[in-house]
Every structure is written in structure tokens, then in C-alpha cells.
Copies of this chain bind each other. A is one copy, B any other.
């Protein structure tokens, strides 16, 4: 947050208002519009712009051509005390996701674990959002989703899995927490795009060229669309990241009976003309079913990690979720979110096209 460009700051509530208006302009019922906007603004607030308002235009395009059904309500297809199989009915990701996680939470409070799989879903934003929902109820939460093919299996020169993220949230005492939210590729495609724009090379282990070799050429890496799994090449155990990406697809796409692997459609800014039918899984676990005082131990666990001796004395060791917490503090201190110029132009165009009140600045 540099103060020199403070004229471009957008209050968190104003960002939310703008997105709700956009969704409602394409006939999304208010409750669903709010759910989706809450999800997106949370990503921007946490500093993950790739998962925030950046995606608004794509969602609006998908809704406008009815490839996503903004009014859809998820349906339970099959149920046991600990599980549910849900059809997202091609609804908005946040609508399906919140519904499923709330159901998992209810089951966890009754029998200790809730495990809910959804088919017929759409891109559901940051995976950590659903883990956060479970944490607010004192539970441990997990979520995973499959996504469009973009990762090449180790030893292959074509993509067969998505960035397939997984999240785990565990509450600690005094509002502390652990929140892991990670793609199972080495990096997100956005990072390759940024190196490309900068004209900078790619580090080893990020992306492949069309022959399946590691490339340092950002332009070529971006054009090829074969990200490497977490771990990079085989020598540095990239097959583990490949295995994790497959695990996510098995627990989400395959188990839910949704599209999986190379069945998943490509997704573009222009909007797709078919339903995504993504698969997702939402897990809630009540830690009180095991050793008492979980949150107190989590606090001790967190401090053991944060208090390890840093390699660089000026850079304290962080825990999963700490960077995002620091970003929220910075947004609060600055009084708003600083979007990129390009994003603001997109918003101005959307406001005109959808005839809604433009985004205003602090």
C-alpha cells in the first residue's frame, strides 16, 4: 500500500457492493450475489488478487450466457450421518461451496466428521474460504476442487490435471489459526504471466516447453500451458506434487461423479458455452472428538514454528495464513484495497455495460 496512489484505494465494503450490483445486474438473486461477492472480496482483502475481483468479468460472462445458473440451489442426492453427495446444479461456486460446507459442519457437530462431495459445481474461488467457514464454528475444515487441465504429469508433455488446490484450516486459541491454501502446481499460471510481462526468465521447476522440458522462457511457458507440479522436475520429487494433484482430483472430481482430469473444459475470459461440472469436496472435523484442548495445543504448535531461528534475522518465520493476515492489516491501515489500473478499467467498462453505479474510491 504505497500512499502516493491512495486515490485508487477501494474500501472493502465498496468492492463488495460493486460486485453484488454486477451479479444482480445479470439476474443473480441477491442472496447468491452476496455469497459470491463475499468470497471474491475476501481474496482481494487477503492479497490474492488472482482469486478476487480479477475473476468477476469471467463469472459475469458465464452468467450472461447461462453457462452458470446464478439462481441454482444445490440438491442433496444421497446422505448418511457423516456424508452427503450434492448436485451443485451448475450454481455459482460460492453458493455450492457454502451449502456443502455448512452441511459438513452440521454433520461434524453430530457425528464428529462431515464429508460432502459436490458435482455440477463451478470455480469456487479460494479453497481456504470453506476451511475458514468451518474454523468459525471451532472445527477443522478442509476443501479441495479440481480445475481445468494445466499441469503435466511427471514425464509427460501434455496437461492432464488442473492446479487442483487444497486447503486446511485449524483454529487456535485467541483468534489465532493455521490456514493452508495452496495449488498443487509449483506456481499459479498468474505468476508465469507476470514474469512474461516483466520480460523476466522463469526459475527452473515452474513450467515446461512443448517438448516436455523445463523452460526458463516465460513467453514460451505461458503459451505452452503446462505448469510443473509442486516439486518441479523428477529429480526434485515433482512426482509428489503430481500425486497430490491427482489426489485432489480423486477426492473431488472422481468421487463426486463430476468431470475429472482431461474431461474438464478449458475456461476462458470470454465465458464457456458448456457447464463446467467441477467436482469439490468439503470436510469438517470436530477436534473435540479427540484430545481435549485442541486450540491451546494449536497455539503452542504455531508458536514453535513461528519461533524457529530465521535464516535472515530481519525476516521472521511465517505460518500458513500469516502473510494474508498481514495483508488484511495493511488494507485496514491504508483504508482500502489498491487494485491494478487494468482491473479498474475493467470495472468501469462493466459498470457501463451493466448500467450500475461505478466503483468509487476513498
Interface residues of A (CB under 8 A from B): 78, 80-83, 85, 111-113, 115, 117, 119, 140, 152-158, 160-161, 168, 170, 178, 180, 182, 186-187, 203-206, 211-213, 230-232, 235-237, 239-244, 246-247, 249-251, 254-257, 260-263, 285-287, 289-292, 294, 297-298, 301, 304-305, 308-312, 315-320
Q: Is the CB of A168 within 8 A of B247?
A: yes
Q: Is the CB of A256 within 8 A of B290?
A: yes
Q: Is the CB of A155 within 8 A of B262?
A: no
Shortest Cβ gap from A335 to chain B (Å): 29
- Max chain B CB contacts within 10 Å: which of A112, A256, A297, A305? A112
Q: Which of B155, B157, B244, B257 contacts A297 (CB 8 A)?
A: B257
Beyond A83-B286, A262-B304, 9 additional contacts (C-beta under 8 Å) are A81-B111, A83-B112, A85-B289, A153-B308, A156-B311, A180-B244, A246-B301, A250-B298, A257-B290
Cβ contacts under 8 Å, A249 to chain B: 301
Q: Is the CB of A290 within 8 A of B170?
A: no
Shortest Cβ gap from A240 to chain B (Å): 5
Cβ contacts under 8 Å, A242 to chain B: 320
Looking across the interface, which residue of chain B has its beta carbon closest to that of A236? B205
Shortest Cβ gap from A82 to chain B (Å): 4
Cβ contacts under 8 Å, A203 to chain B: 235-236
10 smallest CB-CB distances across A and B, nearest first, come from A257-B291, A212-B311, A83-B112, A156-B308, A80-B112, A83-B289, A180-B243, A82-B82, A243-B320, A85-B290
